Amino acid sequence: MRRVTAAKRVLSVMEHYDIVIIGAGLAGSLAAIALAREGHRVALIGPRPAIADGRTTALMDQSIDYLKTLGVWDDVAPLTAPLVAIHIIDATKRLLRAPPVNFRAAEVGLEAFGHNIPNAPFLGILEKHEASLPTLERVPVAATVFDFGEVEVRVGLEDGRMLTADLIVGADGRRSAVREAADIDTFTWSYPQTAVVLNFAHELPHQEVSTEFHTGSGPFTQVPLPGDRSSLVWVQKPRDAEETLKLPLDVLSRTIEDQMESILGKVTAEGRPQSFPLSGMTARRFGKRRVMLVGEAAHAFPPIGAQGLNLSLRDVMTVAELVGSPTGRRLPADTGDRFDSRRRIDIVSRTASVDLLNRSLLSSFLPVQAMRAVGLQLLSSAGPLRGLLMREGIHPGSALQSIKESLRETFTRKTA
């Protein structure tokens, strides 16, 4: 038995579940709801956050559809603002700069790419849904002991209880105890960047448009919230971020307005900003025998392109699909291996694309700057290419499918 921290030796009679989920953040909570709705007996284990998460999450159309299938969207929707367009502005002040690029949901037949949701109230809504599911038990304590056997997984809790399960889902973040206990290594890297996040009110309406200024230190991204409010993710050099956090609110508000070139008029920052050092991580395996890793236990990268929770939700969808509905039999011991195979291409490709985009902003190498400028120029001027990229961002794999269908139609016409 592998210990993550010291555990009590006297344990109560063991309770058995189909699936135990470690980590009660957004990814873990959504996984618990998805599996319990299928009828599986689920334990969701993890303490509630000590500090409210001030960040927001932009969920794309595919993720919104999944929230609807889970029955939570009607409660979440009033908190959200739609994203009908994304405007990218090259503010690097470099010799080679790209023209502005506009992505509009209407170009791909959608009313909105997705919706922006504040994390803290989103999690609160999920907790209410958890409480309504009779096969889901919420256990707000830490897991301290993990034992991965041939027949089942044993989990020891901080309060002395011992649980057993057919499968375990690790949704416990970058420092995942589940991943460590399962002896799954990681690839990790860091960036000379810190993300400063906050919400702010503004004088002019955002018209449901997200504007992303690409600067030499990283993206400065405004994303709509309901009313004349927006969320901000401002990626800076660590020393600059420290100075930003110290600014009085009135000075911070003026600084944000200047950075945004006053496109939303007067800005009023709401509360103190939070900061998060930027780094990247992928697990060498995303599943192993009776273990599956989702969310930041499996992958983590900078907040660029609204990929984080959308990728995590695709993890959850795959877990639910592999597990299926209860059959009365034990869940297969190789579920984690099959999960790893199913998720590898999506996770690796998304992580690589976000990393490449972020490093292109930081690079002082002129050919790299030129390639980035040319790429954005092509997106600005080539409607079909822009549409292809938008579809791929919303529905992964759709771009390749679209190319296949186009080639098939061309071949059919030529041979007819």
| Pure H helices in 93-203 | 119-131, 177-181
Q: What is the pLDDT of residue 392?
A: 54
Give the chain's domain count.
Answer: 1
Residue 231 placed within a domain: yes
pLDDT at 108: 79
Residue segments in the chain with a per-residue pLDDT below the cut of 70: 1-13, 94-98, 305-306, 360-416
pTM: 0.86
- The structure tokens listed for 108 are 């791909």
What's the confidence (pLDDT) of residue 336? Answer: 98
Q: Is residue 372 part of a domain?
A: no
pLDDT for residue 189: 93
363 within domain boundaries: no
In a domain, 68, yes or no: yes
Residue 386: inside a domain, yes or no? no
d(CA 53, CA 84): 25
Residue 284 falls within a domain, yes or no?
yes
pLDDT tens, residue by residue, 303-343: 776 678 899 999 999 999 999 999 999 999 999 999 999 99
DSSP single-letter state for residue 415: H
Buried b (16+ CB within 10 A) or exposed e, 273-301: bebbebebbbbebbbbbbbbbbbbbbbbb
Give a yes or no: residue 327 inside a domain: yes
| pLDDT of amino acid 255 | 97
HSE-CB of 390 using CA atoms within 13 angstroms: 27
**Domain presence at residue 196:** yes
- The separation between the first and the last C-alpha atoms of the chain, rounded to the nearest angstrom, is 66
Which segments within 119-185 are labelled E, that is strand?
136-139, 143-148, 153-157, 162-170
DSSP 47: P
Read off the CATH number of the domain in which 317 is found. Answer: 3.50.50.60
pLDDT score at 6: 35
Residues in the chain: 416
Q: Which residue has the tokens 């555990």?
A: 7
pLDDT at position 99: 74
Q: Look at the alpha carbons of 185, 186, 187, 189 in this order and tell me if their dihedral is positive or negative.
A: negative
Domain range for 136: 2-356
